[in-house]
Chain A
Amino acid sequence: MCPLFSPPLFMQRYQFVVDFVQKYEPKKVLDLGCAECRLLEKLKYHGNGVELLVGVDKDSSAMRTRMYSFAPLSSDYLQPRTGPLAIELYEGSVTQPDPSTCGFDLVTCIELIEHLHLEEVEMFSEVLFGFMAPSAVIVSTPNADYNPLLPGLVGFRHPDHKFEWSREQFQLWALRQCEVFGYTVNFTGVGALAEPHTDVGFCSQIAVFNQDPSPQDSAVQYRSREEPTVYRLLYSVVYPSLSDNNILQKTLVNEVLCRAELVKQSWLSGKWVAKTAPEPYMTGSSVCVSLLDVWSCPRVRSLCGTLRRFTEALVGESRVVLTPGREAVIIPVDDEEEEEEEEDEDGQGTETRWTASVTTEDWDVEIPHNLDSNLHGAKHG
């Protein structure tokens, strides 16, 4: 619609949210009116510390086509992320309260309210600030003041828009919400004119609300999430992450075994260099690699943080065999020739069925000669 802006205006709006998220690091983010989930997708990539991303839209068709793209990629399993991440998509109306929307750090309503009728906006404000009561809210909506600058625009910017507010109307609405529900608001926007010859503000006006600190604030924060009652869960996915102890343990074991194997090999081939860790030694047909040597691997370090946690994690781990003194990993030396698949045939197996003569067939006489010679050949295809 607006080739005037580069990057396109919608991208600028998303970028605004992404910047906000990167700056204030909310853990739980809810996007109302998420449509094709483009913002959620951006936040999936760019929202560093976000642990829960939820999208809500009344019309589920767009979500349905997009939702499977939120599934973790193969690489997410190969290198699990450090922090947790879950994504949920709901079908539901923003004018209806649903318990699953409570307790968020940030709720975004990007170009949403202008699609609601004015009476719905009232209900929505009530639900958003009164019921969901998130710590922060970002609301963006078209700025009607800017419309005259949009070439060829007649009426609203989109046929589905029920209204387009001027800056004054928007600010009036916003300030009333602050008053009623205890928020403070800052106004900004994206899509400003390069040369501000007239003061029309931004093309998209944005209000950023912050909840006033209150005693019950912390209680809300740590309340566990509730099941939806009105909304319908369409899709939910939990990303594999190191915050899952099973995954952490698996990854750790993986790294430990790999590191120990490397140390073993370098020691056996005489390339092991003494650093801080004690030298590996043989017991029976196994090599014992000092835990300190394993610990010196940066990957292992980053997984456990402290040496104590590292040793604790390995104790009782069946996949890693430790020495009785728990100071080394035992890695068997396996240069033994493996058992051949073929069993020794001598003396066992069935008796050979020797035959005296070979039954002689003659296919030449069986061949149908008079047929078209291409019968089986080129005919089919």
Chain B
Amino acid sequence: MYRTRHWHRRQNDEEVHVFRCAQQLLDRTENMDPNKPPFFGTPGAVHKPEEALIGRGRSLLLPPGDASFGRGRGFELMASAPGGQFGRGLIYPGSEPSTGLARGLPLPSDDGGMGRARGLFLQAVQPSVGLGRAALLHVEPSVMPTPLAQPAKPDSPQGMPSLQAEEEEMAKKSQEEVAVTTPGSSLVSMFRGMGIESSRTTWGRGIMPGVSRGARGEPVTPQVGVSSAIGSEGDGPVKEEMGRGSSWLGQGLVGAGRATVPTMGIGRGPTSSSMLPPGPAAISAGLSPPLTGSPPKEPPMHPEGSPPKAPLQMEASREPLQKAGTKGNPVRVGSNYIAIGCKNDAVYQYHVTFTPNVESMGMRFGMMKDHRSITGDVIAFDGSILYLPVRLNEVVQLKSERKTDGQEIDIKIQMTKIIPPSSDLCLPFYNVVLRRVMKILGLKLVGRNHFDPTCAVILGKHRLQVWPGYATCFKRTDGGLYLSVDVTHKVLRNDSVLDVMHAIHQQSRESFQEVCTKELIGSIVITRYNNRTYRIDDIEWSKSPRDTFTLEDGTQTTFLDYYSKNYGITIKEQDQPLLMHRPKERAKPRGKVITGEILLLPELAFMTGIPDKMRKDFHVMKDLTQHINVGGEQHTQSLKQLLIKMNTIPEAQTELGRWGLEITTDILMTQARTLPQETICLQRASFQPAPDASWSREVTREASISCVPLNCWAIFYPRRAADQVEELVSTFGKVAAPMGLRLNRPTRVELRDDRTETYIKSIHSQLTSDPNLQLVICIITGNKDDLYNAIKKLCCVQSPVPSQAINARTISQPQKLRSVAQKILLQMNCKLGGELWSVNIPLKQLMVIGVDVHHDTSKKCRSVMGFVASLNSTLTRWYSRVFFQMPNEEIIVGFRACLLGALQKYHELNRSFPEKIVIYRDGVSEGQLKTVEHYEIPQILKCFETYQNYEPKLVFIVVQKRVSTTMYSFSGDRIGAPPPGTVLDHTVTSRDLMDFYLMAHSIRQGCGLPTHYISLYNTANLTPDHLQRLTFKMCHLYWNWPGTIRVPAPCKYAHKLAFLTGQSLHSEPAINLADKLFFL
């Protein structure tokens, strides 16, 4: 459908994220940190030589004798070496010689994002080490497990896990074996042999015993907390700095007990990393020390003067990636990032073990709370990992009583890491602090962002309220630690879902349920009683508030009682259906999987967001965008207001000060570049676009690159549009020639009425009677989605022919008819296979591909992925395909068919395959980046193997439109948006990605929102300049808009195609349209 208006909508009103409580977030993120020591991260730390407690770490993939070995960074190395690692360690209790040897053996995994780990107790000879055997000993089968490895208490049973009686025999054997190896000497010689100073040997990973469950008399095998589980992304050795994978506490993770030793880990092992948000990955990468770096100096660790056996030291950070380009003119820009000062020198990471084990997280938190006098008030604790801004002794032993059974619990707090206060590891709990600060400032959490209801703009006519607010989070970028603040708005409605249902009932009584389903499903509601947001996934018509549900404690209660008891709310209407929300299945930290449905009462749920019906209402949208689309001036102003509040309200200051955070009052000012201007080429003429990067005038006055003569076309219209059609056709005739377009008079088909069947029948019969028909034009009165969909279905799927739907309203104004007609003609030309304009593409044998996904909001339909690939050197011919994707289905299946189709077509036209393929991939969420990188890209590379000896260079760029980064430019004292082509490739960019921000489009209203581009793969060796400029060039090529757009044209085409397919066609368009831009 022809629409001249492009809503550059911000996403604020569409937030679909379900509220997650801060603690969960914290837990989850923390638990997934792969670089965290699985148990006692820097194992050497507690060992004293006289106790001969030695841990050693070794990476399998590294050549023996690798320098990294001897450095005190064994753990990090292991964590970062993919493919397979060892954690080996020995524990020699002073009195009773016993040896434990363990391996954490992450399997090299090819499943893209699954990290696996195994803790193995080996009984094998380790020739390279010269140790006879590793044995795992029990101390006394019946002994109560005590906190293990307590150097401070030499008389307590040493840190060996206890085996149970049935393993005694085994243990004895081991003992014997161990006895053969004289621990001291062999170790010493071993280390000597490796050229490692003995003082360094304490580094690396050792077996550290964990907590035994045996203590509680469970018949399980003894808990040997070895599990030196090291996460590995498993994607190949090149990624020497990746140590991804995650770990979680204990339950169920088994260090596969090979041989005979029953092991089980309380330990941490990697879990599926496909679920990981990118954060943790960044964390690990950011903290891995450079392989070749010199050993960092080791500060004295024991303030009280005990011998520094295993000094912990501040984590070093990694070399930044080379991602800065040089081309273009420098331009000073501001961005919505605020530098954060860290007053503290360091943050200390500890590992906390409870002996006997305490399963309940709540109880663990409680016990830690009891020891505030030791830890101080400022703590971040996830149940096992503890962060403090203060330094405790290396090992702190505490005692608590378990209230449920009076059991005394030993709590051991062991320092594992010293991290810089700006480390990624700190972000999760800094962000918790930030949420608290926002709350202190009186802002309301809706979804994930905070809003200020006292500044609400009320649009009474629509019963809407627009709440201004902020999306804030701490980020660690190339420039350091920043607070990223975006100004957002939330549209809320005064209506409860029940109100909306009533309104629907009044309007359409007979199709009530159907309309409700259509309007409500997919929308986000906020509950009246606890402020949570939920997405409506279904409506339970058969249920009512009188129905019962089961509470956590197992009792049954009705909804009526529940709300009355807990919130004092009396439900007014007892006969309302219930709304259903299906939470996304995700494992909670403790391995608990949240499943099941959440039922909500329509009466107690408020609608949020703009309903679809209103979205189509031009006037509402105009009212709304006025409030939502704030310009740079207002943007920076609201930002500053927030900063001032944060810096003046004492409670907020205190809260931030707890972790030593200081928020500066100014936004980031930095230098960006405006890329060189592109030259637009038409058939005969070329020109440089005006500063606002639009060229609607030029393209209507000069001939397009190629035009398809329109000899045979038909126009369908209802009778009352007859005059308008006449006007339109004659205007077409007048404006076509300058654009180089030749067209005959169309066949005019006047319809009796504007019913859908009438249109479809007429078009169908016309197509049958005239097989040469090149194009169908339909004039539609009013917003008729069904009609539009039916026409598109007919013309794109059943009887493929390019089609153009025109809303009668757009051609109703005579003074605008000329320019409207020009634009329609250009669009028609595209649909017929004509080419409008191009820019110079200085890469030969290039194919550019755009991919975008369209998701159906109601989740009723499959997602559609649009695929568009260029076919010629000027990038003016496009091949397009779609494929449907089942939920959770990998895109690659369909992708392969599309890619091969495109290559085939390319070969047909060029007699060769492209040498370089650049893929712009839109529709990738932050969490999917890793999946794309480790699964999708290798699969794409595999596709090329279909052809013999075909190995094109591939560049894979992820396109992210929805980013919170904003750019401001300053001209005099006015704050506006930077010019089109402004690129920012440093400071705010991600530490771990080859990325840049490019704002290609011209801003008419609102703020400068750049698009984020991440180059995940680049075997074509395109330089940052090339990547940036090629991307900018691509943003010039969207023929539906004579100007630059915010994403590369192929992405936009793919989006259009996916949208049309998902909204109207619901099936694959006819293949013979694949080489035309029929979907525009």
Contacts and interface: CB of A to CB of B under 8 A. Distances in A.
Interface in B918-950: 933
A75 B439 contact: no
A74 B281 contact: no
Contacts of B840: 358-361
Given A45-B568, A361-B842, A74 B492 contact: yes
Contacts of B445: 74
Given A74-B453, A378-B238, A352 B697 contact: yes
A45 B567 contact: yes
A344 interface: yes
B881 to A, nearest CB: 26
B1023 interface: yes
Which of A341, A363, A371 has the largest number of chain B CB atoms within 10 A? A363
B994 A376 contact: yes
B444 A378 contact: no
Contacts of A358: 679, 681, 686, 840
A381 B321 CA distance: 10
B562 interface: no
A353 B688 contact: yes
A337 B567 contact: no
Contacts of A78: 465, 492-494, 606
Contacts of B691: 350
A152 to B, nearest CB: 10
Interface stretch (B140-148, B419-427, B977-985, B1012-1020): B1012-1020
Contacts of A197: none
How many of chain A's residues touch chain B, expressed as a range?
A: 35 or more
A367 to B, nearest CB: 5
B1023 A256 contact: no
Contacts of A219: none
B698 A357 contact: no
Interface in B688-704: 688, 690-691, 695-698
Contacts of B697: 345-346, 349, 352
B1023 A368 contact: yes
Nearest to A320: B460
Given A361-B840, A377-B1016, A381-B285, A354 B685 contact: yes
Chain B binding surface SS class:
mixed
Interface in B102-139: none
A355 B687 contact: yes
Interface in B455-480: 456, 458, 460-463, 465, 467
A72 B467 CA distance: 15
A359 B679 contact: yes
A99 B244 CA distance: 60
A73 B4 contact: no
Nearest to B499: A299
A231 B690 CA distance: 67
Contacts of B1020: 367
B527 A75 contact: yes
B452 to A, nearest CB: 10
B744 interface: no
Interface string A205-237: 000000000000000000000000000000000
A73 B439 contact: no
Contact of B460 (A240, A319, A355, A375): A319
Nearest to A374: B238
A357 B686 contact: yes
Contacts of A363: 842-843, 1022, 1026, 1030
Contacts of A73: 444, 528-531
Given A74-B531, A254-B494, A377-B1017, A352 B698 contact: yes
Contacts of B568: 45-48
Contacts of A72: 444, 453
A297 interface: no
Contacts of A337: 809, 812-813
Which of A72, A350, A366, A376 has the largest number of chain B CB atoms within 10 A? A376
A282 interface: no
Contacts of B444: 71-74, 77
Interface residues of B, number: 88
B696 A342 contact: yes
Given A74-B451, A337-B809, A381-B933, A373 B843 contact: no
Contacts of B233: 381
B439 A74 contact: no
A23 interface: no
B235 to A, nearest CB: 7
Contacts of B812: 337
B177 interface: no
A381 B461 contact: no
Chain A binding surface SS class:
loop
B564 to A, nearest CB: 9
A367 B1023 contact: yes
A349 B238 CA distance: 54
Contacts of A253: 458, 460
Interface string B800-830: 0000000001001100100100000000000
Contacts of B618: 338
B906 to A, nearest CB: 18
A369 interface: yes
A378 B236 contact: yes
Interface string B617-651: 01100100000000000000000000000000000
A75 B238 contact: no
Interface in B580-607: 606
A359 B242 CA distance: 43
A68 B456 CA distance: 21
A195 interface: no
Which of A73, A240, A261, A371 has the largest number of chain B CB atoms within 10 A? A73
Contacts of B287: none
Contacts of A341: 5, 1004-1005
Contacts of A261: 461-462
B500 interface: no
A308 interface: no
B763 interface: no
Interface in B1013-1050: 1015-1023, 1026, 1030
B241 interface: yes
B1018 A377 contact: yes
A258 interface: yes
Given A45-B566, A345-B697, A356 B1026 contact: no
Interface string A239-258: 01000000000100111111
B285 A254 contact: no
A358 B530 CA distance: 62
B440 interface: yes
Contacts of A340: 4-5, 816
A380 interface: yes
Interface string B994-1006: 1000000000110
A160 interface: no
A350 B690 contact: yes
B456 A77 contact: yes
A179 interface: no
Nearest to B1026: A363
A372 to B, nearest CB: 9
B1022 A367 contact: yes
B442 interface: yes
Interface string B540-571: 00000000000000000000000000111100
A362 interface: yes
The 4 closest A-B pairs by CB, nearest first: A257-B460, A376-B1018, A77-B453, A45-B568
Interface of A: 45-48, 68, 71-75, 77-79, 240, 250, 253-258, 261, 319, 334, 337-338, 340-342, 344-346, 349-350, 352-364, 366-369, 371, 373-381
Given A337-B809, A350-B691, 12 more contacts: A46-B568, A73-B529, A73-B531, A75-B526, A79-B606, A254-B494, A340-B4, A374-B1019, A376-B1015, A380-B993, A381-B285, A381-B933
10 contacts: A45-B566, A74-B445, A74-B453, A74-B467, A74-B606, A78-B465, A250-B458, A340-B5, A363-B843, A380-B285
